[in-house]
Structure 1
Amino acid sequence: MSVLDERIGPFPLGQAAFGAAPEEPHQEEIQRAVSHAEHVDDFDMRHLRYFLAVVRSGTVSAAAKELRISQPSLSQQIKRLEQRIGAALFVRSSRGVELTAGGRAFLREIQSIPGQLRSAIAAAAPTPALWSVGVCGGVPAEVLAEVQNGLAGQGAHHVGSRPGPHLRMRSVGAAEQPELLEHGEIVFGIMRLPVTAPHLARAVVWDEPLGVVLPTAHPLASQPSLTWEDLSTQRLLWYDEGCAPGYADAVPAQLTALGWKAVLHPVDQDQQALFVHALQTTRDLVALRPSTAVTDDPQLVWRPLPTASAPRERLAVTALAGSRAARYLGRVAARCGWPYRA
C-alpha cells in the first residue's frame, strides 16, 4: 500500500467548514512565502500528483492507468521532475519502482502540500463544503442514512440558518482509511471496530450481535437453532485482514474463547456478490453477520449463535484525532447519541 492517495479531490476541509476564526498572516510570513515561491515558478501541481501516484501504485504502469495517461508520458513527466530537482527520485527495476534516499526526503517535505492547498481553498471558498466520507464494504443502507443525517445536520438547523455540508460517500477499504484520513484525502471514515490505528476519534453508529449466515440449501439451514457442536464441523467465511484490520482478528479470538475454534476461509467480503457465491458453492461453509444485514436476501438464512454473549459488529464514523473534523464529530455524536471516544 502507498504512503498517500495522490488525487486532489473537490472535498476541502478548511476553516470555513468548521467555523474556526481566521488568523491574520504576519507580514514577515507573507514575505517569506513570496521569496520561496520565486524558486518554484516552473513547478506544477501536476508533477506532484504524478510523483505521488507512482509512490502509491508502486509501478509507473499502474500509476499511468489510474491517472488515465500513457505510460511513456508519465515516465517523461517524472524524468522532468527529477531533472528540475537535480536528483533521482526512483530506482527502477523489473518489479516496479522504489524511492531513493532523495525521493524519500522529497516525499516527506511535499506530502502535506495537497492537504494544505485544499485547506487554503476551503478557507476562501463559500460554504457549504463538500466532505468526502470513506465507506468500508458491507455497510447497511440504514447506517449510511444515519451518518448522512448526523454529519450533514439534517433537521438540526433552525429555519433560515445556513444549510449543512454536503457529503460524498465513496468506497474505501478499511485498511486504507487511516492513511487517507491522516493526509486529508477523506474527511471522515466508516469502518468496523476495533481498528488498529491509534490516532482516530470514533463515534459508534451501529452495534448489533453477530449470528450465523447460511445459504438456504445448507444442511443446517432447516434447524431453528444451532449448537457449538454443529458449528465445529463448519469452516467460517471471514474477512481477510486487509478488509477489516482489527475486527478480522478480534471476532475469531472471541469465538475461540466461546468454544468454536473456527477454520477460516478468507474472502474479500467487501463484495456482497462474492460473499453469497462462496456460501452457495462451497461445502461446510458458514458466515457471521448481524441479522439485519441479510434479512432481505432470500438466498440466505440467519441463526443466532448459541451464547448470550455473541461477538458484535460495531460500525463507527472516524476522524483524525485532534482535528477540526474530530471536534465536529464529537458535537454530532453528542447530539445524535452516538457513543464517542476521542
Structure 2
Amino acid sequence: MELRYLRYFVAVARERHFTRAAHALGISQPPLSQQIKRLEEEVGTPLFRRLTRGVELTEAGEAFYEDACKILAMSDAALEKARGIARGLNGSLSIGITSSDAFHPKIFTLIRHYQMQNPAVTVHQIEANMSSLMAMLGEGELDIAFVRLPCESSKAFDLKMLDREPMVVALHRKHPLAEQGSLAPEQLRDSPMILFPREVAPGLYERVYTYCERAGIDMQRTLQASQLSSSLSMVAAGGGFALVPQSMAAIAKPDVTYHPLSDPALYTDIALCWRRFERSRTVKRFLAMMD
C-alpha cells in the first residue's frame, strides 16, 4: 500500500468532502476519487459513505483513519530523523575523556555548548585511560576523544589542539617545601615520586619520567598510583609528591598544596582526536565549534 493513498484518505476524512480535499492536496477531484476507490478495493471494504453533500466514514473507515494517521506521523518522523542525522542535527555522539580531562574547563564548556546547540543529539561520555580511548576510537565505539599528548597511538587519527597545560607539583601540606611558591625539580630529589602506570598514558609517562630523571630524582623510589587523579589521594596520605596537569589543582584536598614548576618545560597538550576521513555530520558540527 502506497503512502500517498493514506495521505489522500486522511485528507478526505478530515474535509468530509472530495472537492475540498482535492483542493487541499493540490490535485483535481476525479483522480482523488479514483485513488480512494483503489484504496477501498485494496482494503476490501468501503471506507466512506457517499452523501448528497460530502462523505462520512464507515465503521471500518473510522478504525482505518486512526491507524493511517499514526502511520503517516511515523513516516514523517522517520523522514525528519533521517534528514536531521544527515545534517548532524539528530542522532548520537560518543565522546571519550580521560580521568584528568574531567577537570579541564574548556572540555566541558565545549560539550555543554554543543548540547545546547544540538538538543536532539544524544551525547554519551565515556571515561577511560588514553590507550583504551584510542582503541575504542579506532574500533568505532567512540566518535571523538579528548586526549593528552604526547600519545603515540593518536598519530593514526586527526587531531585539533585545544590547550597547552603546564604540569604542577602536588605536595602534602606538611611537606617541608609546602610553604614555598614555585619549585625547581631538583628540590624534589629527597621525596619519593608518585607516578601513574605507563599503560595509562605511555607518551606522557615517558615525558614525565625523563623530566624527573634529568633533574636527578631517584626514579627507583617511585610509588605507583592507578591513575593521575588517584596520585593526589596518595599525596594526601603522605606518600610523596606528584606531577599533575594544572587543571587538576581544582581538586581541593585539605592536605594537598599545588606549586608551579620554576622550569616551565614540563607540560601536556590537550587535543581533540577523531578518525580520518570522518563523514558523520554530528562529528563535523562538533569540530566546527572549535574553529
TM bucket by the smaller chain? 0.5 to 0.7
The residue aligned with 2:165 is 208
Q: 1:138 aligns with which of 80, 100, 108?
A: 100
Give the letter for the 2:138 counterpart.
E
* Equivalenced residues, count: 203
RMSD after superposition: 3.0
Cα separation, 1, equivalents of 2:260 and 2:216: 14
Q: 2:174 aligns with which of 214, 217, 221?
A: 217
Query: Do the aligned partners of 1:294 and 1:300 also contact (CA within 8 Å) in 2?
Result: no
1:241–1:213 distance in 2 versus 1, CA, 3 Å: same
TM-score, structure 1 normalization: 0.52
Deviation at 1:213, TM superposition (A): 0.8
Give the letter for the 2:225 counterpart.
V
1:181–1:326 distance in 2 versus 1, CA, 3 Å: farther
Deviation at 1:180, TM superposition (A): 1.1
The residue aligned with 2:225 is 267
Deviation at 1:323, TM superposition (A): 2.2
Query: Do the aligned partners of 2:168 and 2:245 also contact (CA within 8 Å) in 1?
Result: yes
The residue aligned with 1:319 is 274
Give the letter for the 2:257 counterpart.
V
Deviation at 1:277, TM superposition (A): 2.8
Deviation at 1:287, TM superposition (A): 0.8
Query: Do the aligned partners of 1:146 and 1:205 also contact (CA within 8 Å) in 2?
Result: no
Unaligned runs of 5+ in 1: 1-121, 156-161, 338-342
Query: Do the aligned partners of 1:133 and 1:169 also contact (CA within 8 Å) in 2?
Result: yes
- Secondary structure of 1:176's counterpart equals helix
The residue aligned with 1:8 is none
Cα separation, 1, equivalents of 2:98 and 2:246: 19
Deviation beyond 6 Å, 4+ runs, structure 1: 122-125
Q: 2:183 aligns with which of 212, 218, 226?
A: 226
Deviation at 1:242, TM superposition (A): 1.9
Unaligned runs of 5+ in 2: 1-80
Percent identical pairs in the alignment equals: 19
Trace 1:174-193 onto structure 2 (pairs within 5 A).
174-193=130-149
Bigger Rg over Cα: 2
Deviation at 1:141, TM superposition (A): 5.3
1:295–1:125 distance in 2 versus 1, CA, 3 Å: closer
TM-score, structure 2 normalization: 0.60
Greater share of helix residues, 1 or 2? 2
Residue 204 of structure 2 corresponds to residue 241 of structure 1: no
1:134–1:328 distance in 2 versus 1, CA, 3 Å: closer
Cα separation, 2, equivalents of 1:244 and 1:325: 28
Give the letter for the 1:269 counterpart.
Q
The residue aligned with 1:148 is 111
